[in-house]
Amino acid sequence: MAAFAAWLGAAVIVLSDGRRGLALGLALITVAFTLLAWMGGERIAAVALLFGGAVAVVQRLRTGLDVWRVMPPGSTPRLVLAIGGGLLALWIATSVMTGAGAPLRFAALGVVGLMGSRVLMADIKPAAVLTSLAALALSVAVASGMADTGLGPSPYIAAAVIALGISLIKVQDTNGG
């Protein structure tokens, strides 16, 4: 369930332009990653993810267009990307890759892939880029949990700090903001 929640959060970020939609997507990803880290025995990492993600969500709710704007007109390619990307990540995580930890793999691959694709979209706004970056940072930390030699909570803490820091950045209007 947590892995699917992470994918759903990434899909909402892909489909949204308004701050409420973006914040909802980031909140879903934060909660899902927190649960996955907690279930993996990384308690400190889970707390760090929750803190960093929660601050980023609150900051996102305070800046940008005060609307949902989930699936605005012309969102069909984004919808296809969200569903197609999720199915591809699910197939790779469960059928191509073997061994334990399929939920973690699905969540990490799905969020990394969708957030990377989101930033490449032509009509993206700075708020969506910053939200995608925060989610990408958190997913990089979660993906580090797949390493044979555990890296401990440090990548999670670093990612949480980065997500928090990114959410505080004000992009200036003069450069396209």
Which residues contact another protein by CB under 8 A?
96-99, 105, 108-109, 112-113, 115-117, 119-120, 124-126, 129-130, 132-133, 136-137, 139-141, 143-144, 146-148, 151-155, 157-159, 162, 165-166, 169-172, 174-177
Tell me the C-alpha distance between 96 and 104, whole Å.
14
Q: Between 30 and 132, whose beta carbon lies closer to another protein?
A: 132
Three-state DSSP state, 46: helix
CB 65 within 8 A of CB 17: yes
With respect to another protein, which residue has the nearer C-beta, 103 or 155?
155
Shortest distance (Å) from residue 43 CB to another protein: 15
CB 176, min distance to another protein, A = 3
* Nearer Cβ to another protein (34/106): 106
Assigned token pair, 70: 């989930």
Helix pair angle (19-39, 2-15), 10° resolution: 160
| ∠ Cα 130 101 80 (to 5°) | 45
